[in-house]
């Protein structure tokens, strides 16, 4: 598996992992270069051709700088550069008998050759690491007059390390890709849920009211009510289908086709006063009772509570009447905030909530319960012949 050269969060995540790994490799390349130069100076009397040895180490230093520049940017990390990296390492390794004589212990580049192997492992994963490690091992063994246990151990580590590092690079890229796709799907699902609530709180409520009021008259108003009912049913079916798609998309294992949708992100707003916002948001038929002081909560929590309260009041106007009274009570218990919405309607018939959820109606499932779930709160309803009471609770947390 190679890094996907393309667009989208998956390719970008893979490329980000490769960039980070090459930055680490640049540090390693510098360290082994300094180590090789230090050991060479210490064992300079081992060379039979010191003049050519200086030229060889000049090539080693120049290529180290060149590789550092080329590997810094993704578009320069071409197969030609990787092949050249391995070729320089193999050439320096093969020059060892000529520079030091047939009887030598350490090769000219020493540990420096592992940099090319790791570069192949990062770019072409375990297959690249295995191929590069094999090439280096074969050359290393072929130039030696005698293969010792130490020589065998070194080439074995090169082979094993190249394949293992390549596999680890592949795993990191895969995990980064899966995380990017999962975050994108979650963002798309969240945006679809918010849009569905917005449609429910606005368009669907108006269509339902038109259908209800127009159906009480004759003539054109009755025809308009029928059309409004048809459009409401069609829009609810569309929202329900989108909700099913969103659930399936989020639950689908990462690795399939990426979901199309806007790139959205959570943006927490500044703290706001819930008490003042409630007093300004309700209509003339609603009585609001607050603690008489500010109840400060994060802006997203305030927005969610206002939306849930608005959905409760929309249900009052739709099922009880436009002029039906309702009461909103705000309680601040310190560690939690509770908003209660109550009306004196006929109550919710038994099984009505389950039926509405099956029909794709989002008044309770999304506009009320969904909003509370998103902010870590909960919604509880009690109903009877005396009316309906919603209790919306959100806990105060230290990280809010």
Pull the structure tokens for residue 122.
Answer: 């990062």
Higher pLDDT: 117 or 281? It is 117
The percent helix, strand, coil of the chain (3-state, each to 5) is 65, 10, 25
Residue 188 lies in a domain: no
Span 207-213, mean pLDDT? 70
Q: What angle do CA 360, 362, 367 make, to 5 degrees?
A: 165
> What pLDDT digit, counting tens, does each position of 107-147 carry?
899 889 999 999 999 999 999 999 999 999 999 999 987 88
The model's pTM: 0.51
The mean per-residue pLDDT over the stretch 191-202 comes to 65
| One domain, residues 24 and 173 | yes
In a shared domain, residues 301 and 342: yes
Among residues 180, 204, 237, the one where a domain terminates is 180
Whether 258 is in a domain gets the answer: no
Model confidence at 237, in pLDDT bands (50, 70, 90)? low
Same domain, 218 and 354: no
Burial class (CB in 10 A: 0-12, 13-18, 19+), 269: exposed
Domain end marker among 206, 221, 251: 251
Q: Are residues 34 and 173 in the same domain?
A: yes
The answer to whether position 332 is within a domain reads yes
Q: Do 227 and 153 fall into the same domain?
A: no
Number of structural domains, the chain? 3
pLDDT in tens, 144-173: 878 888 888 888 988 998 899 989 998 998
Residue 344 belongs to domain spanning: 272-395
Q: Do 279 and 363 share a domain, yes or no? A: yes
Whether residue 391 sits in one domain with residue 338 = yes
- Residues of the chain with pLDDT > 90: what percent? 34
> Would you place residue 184 in the very low, low, confident or very high pLDDT band (cuts 50, 70, 90)?
confident
352 and 221 belong to one structural domain: no
Please name the residue that has the structure tokens 């197969």. Answer: 79
Question: Residue 397's CB: how many other CB atoms inside 10 A?
Answer: 10
Are residues 294 and 369 located together in one domain of the fold?
yes
- Cα distances from 114 to residues 68, 156, 226, 371, 376, in angstroms, run 15, 12, 77, 55, 51
Q: What is the CATH number of the domain that holds 292?
A: 3.30.565.10
């Amino acid at each position: 598996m190679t890094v996907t050269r393309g667009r989208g969060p998956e390719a970008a995540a893979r490329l980000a992992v490769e960039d980070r790994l090459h930055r680490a490799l640049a540090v390693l390349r510098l360290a082994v270069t300094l180590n090789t130069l230090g050991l060479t100076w210490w064992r300079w009397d081992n060379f039979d051709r010191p003049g050519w040895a200086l030229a060889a180490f000049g090539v080693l230093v120049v290529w180290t700088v060149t590789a550092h520049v080329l590997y810094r940017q993704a578009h320069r990390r071409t197969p030609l550069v990787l092949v050249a990296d391995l070729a320089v390492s193999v050439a320096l390794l093969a020059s060892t008998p000529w520079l030091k004589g047939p009887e030598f212990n350490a090769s000219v580049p020493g540990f420096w050759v592992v940099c090319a192997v790791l570069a192949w492992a990062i770019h072409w994963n375990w297959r690249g690491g295995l191929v590069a490690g094999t090439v280096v091992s074969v050359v290393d063994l072929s130039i030696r007059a005698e293969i010792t246990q130490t020589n065998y151990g070194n080439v074995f580590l090169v082979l094993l390390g190249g394949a293992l590092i390549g596999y680890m690079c592949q795993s990191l890229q895969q995990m980064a890709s899966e995380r990017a796709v999962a975050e994108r799907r979650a963002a798309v699902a969240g945006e679809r849920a918010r849009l569905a609530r917005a449609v429910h709180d606005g368009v669907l409520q108006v269509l339902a009211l038109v259908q209800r009021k127009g159906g009480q008259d004759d003539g054109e108003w009755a025809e308009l009510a029928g059309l409004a009912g048809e459009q409401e049913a069609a829009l609810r079916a569309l929202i329900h289908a989108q909700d099913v798609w969103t659930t399936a998309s989020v639950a689908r294992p990462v690795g399939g086709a990426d979901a199309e949708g806007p790139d959205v992100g959570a943006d927490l707003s500044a703290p706001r006063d819930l008490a003042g916002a409630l007093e300004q948001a309700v209509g003339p038929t609603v009585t609001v009772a607050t603690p008489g002081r500010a109840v400060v909560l994060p802006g997203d929590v305030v927005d969610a509570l206002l939306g849930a309260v608005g959905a409760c009041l929309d249900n009052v106007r739709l099922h009880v009447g436009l002029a039906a009274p309702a009461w909103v009570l705000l309680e601040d218990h310190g560690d939690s905030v509770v908003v209660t919405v109550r009306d004196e309607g006929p109550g919710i018939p038994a099984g009505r909530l389950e039926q509405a959820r099956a029909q794709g109606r989002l008044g309770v499932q999304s506009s009320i319960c969904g909003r509370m779930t998103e902010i870590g709160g909960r919604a509880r309803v009690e109903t009877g012949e005396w009316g309906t009471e919603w209790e919306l609770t959100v806990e105060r947390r230290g990280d809010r």
